[in-house]
Amino acid sequence: MAESEKEAALPPKEAFSDWYNELLWMAEIMDVRYPVKGLYVWYPFGFAIRRNTYSIIREILDNSGHQETLFPLLIPENEFMKEAEHIKGFENEVYWVTHGGKDPLDIPLALRPTSETAIYPMYKKWVRSHADFPLKLYQIVNTFRYETKHTRPLIRLREITSFKEAHTVHATWEDAEAQVKEAIGLYTEIYRRLAVPVLRSRRPDWDKFPGADYTDALDAVMPDGKTLQIGTVHHLGDNFAKTFDIKYEAPDGEQRYAHQTCYGISERSIAATISIHGDDKGLVLPPEIAPVQVVIIPIIFKKGAEEVFAACKDVQERLKKAGIRVEVDASDLRPGAKYYKWEMKGVPLRLEIGPRDLQNNVAVAVRRDTGEKDQITLPEIEAGVRLKFEAIQKSLYEKAGSELESRIFDCVDLDEVKEKIQEGVATIPWCGKRECGLAMEDHIGAGILGIPLTPRSKGKEKCPACGEETETRVYVARTY
């Protein structure tokens, strides 16, 4: 896209919603002009961020005993309609295919909103014995949900383009529970690699995944204080095994129903990374997912231009050989315009090389996240750049972590909760009874997000709704 098309300026980040929408356009992440609501188009630059993000997800899943696979998109109505809870949860969200060409289909086909009812009839055919366990498969696919709430690119889509869903099978409820814990750990590690700190909590029963025994979730706190659910892990018990008749021969020869989990991450992982690290100048990307990790800017004067260009090319070749994604911006834009462009794209490190730097045998290194400027000697350029990446990654994660902690408020009563959830996440005691939870939600006008997996108890306190003594504090937040 020509530079001129982007005469609009990026709004300041505190105008978060406008900043976010404008940034997706100006940094060439997604084009929202596709003529179907809730469907968006990846620009190549945005898609490169997705590729790098999902190669981290694949690495972490593949290194923890998962295997990637691929199931069909279309699910026959009779299979989709088998699990009562699941249907109730998705019947208003599922798209149906009713024709092939001009012929009406004898069995309507659902576009998968998630793939339990595509996968589990096959699991029934595959699972035979406890020796088959643990079965840990995942796929990265597009799924379709007829979202009626406000759709937003990367955050709430009707076609979820990057839906990583894992589906595991185990002998016992306890084995599945252990898998849930492993998945929470894997998701926490994925987000550490994206320098995104997360809140981990058990969703209240009325908010769990349709057909699950319970749901644990990871939430990011976005710059506007609202939380974004960026990963969920569901213990499915033997609910789906009973519905789809997934049985195995136990060591004692008995036929038993299997126990299952499923867990998902979508492109919200990218929405959170962009939102949490970005600033008024645009994207700030963790080096590991940046499509361009280093941009080299030749500082050109009449004298010595040739040597400078040659040196920039040489540094580029060496960094490429070291596996670093690097560009030389030799365009005839003024240096300031170059800085603006690459800062907008979140390039973690800029190297400036001019005649004086050549004499001193150095490159000037400028960090995108802090603006800090210092020198790296040219013979050490590969190691120096890697050190910068480590410093940037560490600093992004620490900064986001303290920002998150500063947005969690232990409140004394519901009025304080109402006030504090404008800025972030409140905690408040809760006895755990549904009627109290729902009464509190009515009073506050926001939901119970979940019970922290790492308790935030302050000892014995009183449930604000019924006065009963409790040692549990729950998260309350406005959510996307």
Distance of closest approach, residue 259 Cβ to ligand 5CA, in angstroms: 16
Kind and range of the H or E element at 315?
helix 305-321
Kind and range of the H or E element at 438?
helix 434-444
Look at residue 469 and give the partner it binds from ligand 5CA, Zn ion, none, a contact being a CB closer than 5 to 8 Å depending on partner kind.
none
Q: Name the residue nearer to ligand 5CA (CB basis): 124 or 433.
A: 124
Q: Please give the C-alpha separations between residue 173 and each of 86, 132, 241, 258, in angstroms, as whole numbers.
A: 19, 16, 12, 8
Distance of closest approach, residue 264 Cβ to ligand 5CA, in angstroms: 3
At residue 391, the 3 state secondary structure works out as helix
Q: Name the residue nearer to Zn ion (CB basis): 395 or 472.
A: 472
Q: Is residue 196 near ligand 5CA by the rule CB under 6 A? A: no
Look at residue 407 and give the partner it binds from ligand 5CA, Zn ion, none, a contact being a CB closer than 5 to 8 Å depending on partner kind.
none
Contacting residues for 283 by C-beta, under 8 A, at least 6 apart = 23, 27, 274, 277, 344, 345, 346
Q: How far apart are the first and last CA of the chain?
A: 31
Distance of closest approach, residue 226 Cβ to ligand 5CA, in angstroms: 14
Q: Is residue 117 near ligand 5CA by the rule CB under 6 A? A: no
Chain residues binding Zn ion by CB under 5 A are 431, 433, 436, 463, 465-466, 468
Side chain identity at residue 273, one-letter code: T
Distance of closest approach, residue 245 Cβ to ligand 5CA, in angstroms: 20
Q: Is residue 226 near ligand 5CA by the rule CB under 6 A? A: no
Q: Tokens in use for 290?
A: 């940046």
Do 231 and 263 contact (CB within 8 A), yes or no?
Answer: yes
Size of the site for ligand 5CA (CB under 6 A): 19
Q: Name the residue nearer to Zn ion (CB basis): 220 or 446.
A: 446
Q: Is residue 83 near ligand 5CA by the rule CB under 6 A? A: no
Q: Name the residue nearer to Zn ion (CB basis): 314 or 435.
A: 435
Distance CA 162, CA 183 (A): 18
Q: Name the residue nearer to ligand 5CA (CB basis): 156 or 193.
A: 156
Look at residue 368 and give the partner it binds from ligand 5CA, Zn ion, none, a contact being a CB closer than 5 to 8 Å depending on partner kind.
none
**Best CA proximity match to 139, nearest among 158, 156, 157, 122:** 122
Q: Name the residue nearer to ligand 5CA (CB basis): 96 or 340.
A: 96
Do 271 and 155 contact (CB within 8 A), yes or no?
Answer: yes
Q: Is residue 234 near ligand 5CA by the rule CB under 6 A? A: yes
Q: Is residue 114 near ligand 5CA by the rule CB under 6 A? A: yes
Paired strand residues for 377: 362
Side chain identity at residue 301, one-letter code: F
Q: Name the residue nearer to ligand 5CA (CB basis): 220 or 297.
A: 220
Among 121, 264, 346, 384, binds ligand 5CA (CB under 6 A): 264
Q: Name the residue nearer to ligand 5CA (CB basis): 75 or 157.
A: 157
408 phi and psi angles, rounded to 5 deg: -110, 125
Contacting residues for 71 by C-beta, under 8 A, at least 6 apart = 112, 115, 118, 119, 122, 139, 141
Distance of closest approach, residue 207 Cβ to ligand 5CA, in angstroms: 10
Look at residue 463 and give the partner it binds from ligand 5CA, Zn ion, none, a contact being a CB closer than 5 to 8 Å depending on partner kind.
Zn ion
Site mask for ligand 5CA (CB under 6 A), range 155-174, x = bound: -xx--x----x---------
**Best CA proximity match to 144, nearest among 121, 108, 107, 110:** 110
Q: Which of residues 131-160 bind ligand 5CA (CB under 6 A)?
A: 145, 147, 156-157, 160
Distance CA 287, CA 320 (A): 15
Distance of closest approach, residue 361 Cβ to ligand 5CA, in angstroms: 49
Q: Please give the C-alpha separations between residue 379 and each of 26, 46, 315, 361, 372, in angstroms, as whole numbers.
A: 36, 33, 9, 8, 21
Q: Name the residue nearer to Zn ion (CB basis): 121 or 450.
A: 450
In the complex, the residues that contact ligand 5CA under the rule CB under 6 A are 114, 116, 145, 147, 156-157, 160, 165, 209, 229-232, 234, 262-264, 266, 268
